[in-house]
Amino acid sequence: MMPSDPPYRVRSSIRAEEEGEATRITKLSSLETETRARRRQVGAYLVVLQGSNVGEMHKIDGPELVIGRAMSANVRLNDDGISRRHCRLLQVGGDVIIEDLGSANGTLVNGELVQHHPLKEGDKILLGATTMLKFTYQDKLDETFQQQMYDAAARDGLTRAYNKKFFLDRFETEFAFARRHKSLLSLIMFDVDHFKKVNDTYGHLAGDAVLVHLARITQSMIRTEDIFARYGGEEFAIICRGTPLANAALVGERLRVAVEQAVFDYQQQRLPVTISVGVAALAEANAGTTQALINEADEALYEAKRTGRNRVVMRRGPAA
């Protein structure tokens, strides 16, 4: 009588199961290792969903990150209703805790007023009247993608200065805040002297090279809180928060001198480059709208051109 299941078949079956189990354990171990490695690469971030800084991403580095309007804040937000030191984020072990710092209007997480609250992925944080932040964990690839999206929407493709739309949106916010709180706000407008001649003589690629170099010089000379934008063509603007007219004019003069002394060249050809600068301030202009203040700065710029170029003109009062 033949046995129905020879012993060798049983042993083969057991061996196969053991090998399969070993393979599964190896795969699980590998997956856990990859997961741990990914966690080490992931960082905690705040993304601005609403407010004047919409689209910005801030990595939560170190044990404390302070949010508010103060110059010393790690994340500066100048929207209405935000206190100078509004709240802070603390990293405790593997958790991120948000803590209100006695703000005038409170800190809300997912619609609930909080004093000391652990944050979870996707939590929405409301500060003041208009600013909403999202708390999220992202890896380097996510961060790079988010930054690229933000830059595409907010920055000029050639010079990497902010674009005109971003400038106008941000200027509305800064202007409204300055008027409401009776704080200082100045606007610098400048453009390249005889820029058409540069393009006609050396070509448009040379003109582009001038604008790129000019933007780099400007970026290196302004404060973090200043907003530098390409207003159009060869014209640029700088929003100077908390700055009186005379100080903004000094910024414009330092920039004018730096451009005059800089070396602009294209294909081993030295290019003559200077700028004319117009400066206006909310207090002196007594402007009722952002466009009125832009017009004041533009009028000062055109006066600088009419009176010889390569100079700075301050607008001390409304245009006649």
pLDDT digits (tens, 9 = 90+) for 116-168: 999 999 999 999 888 999 999 987 666 666 667 667 778 999 999 999 999 99
Q: Each residue of 250-276: pLDDT tens digit? A: 999 999 999 999 999 999 999 999 999
- pLDDT value for 228: 97
> Among 5-14, 50-59, 122-131, whose mean pLDDT is lowest?
5-14
Marked catalytic residue, from 234, 235, 284, 299: 234
CA atoms within 13 A on the CB side of 128: 21
Q: Each residue of 210-253: pLDDT tens digit? A: 999 999 999 999 998 899 999 999 999 999 999 999 999 999 99
Q: Is the pLDDT of residue 67 over 80?
A: yes
Report the share of the chain in percent with pLDDT over 90. Answer: 66
From residue 27, how far is each of 21, 30, 34 by CA, in Å?
A: 10, 5, 10
Which tops the pLDDT comparison, 208 or 55? 208
Q: Is the pLDDT of residue 40 over 80?
A: no
Quick check: is 56 catalytic? no
Report the share of the chain in percent with pLDDT over 70. Answer: 82
Write down the mean pLDDT value for the chain: 87
CB-CB neighbours of 216 under 10 Å: 14
**What is the DSSP code (8-state) at residue 155?**
B
- pLDDT value for 181: 85
Question: Is 0.85 topped by the overall pTM?
Answer: no
- Which residue, among 195, 218, 188, has the nearest Cα to 274 in the 3D structure? 195
Q: Each residue of 118-130: pLDDT tens digit? A: 999 999 999 988 8
State the Cα–Cα distance between residues 89 and 87, nearest whole angstrom: 7
Helix or strand (DSSP H, E) at 188: strand 185-192
Average pLDDT estimate for 8-30:
56
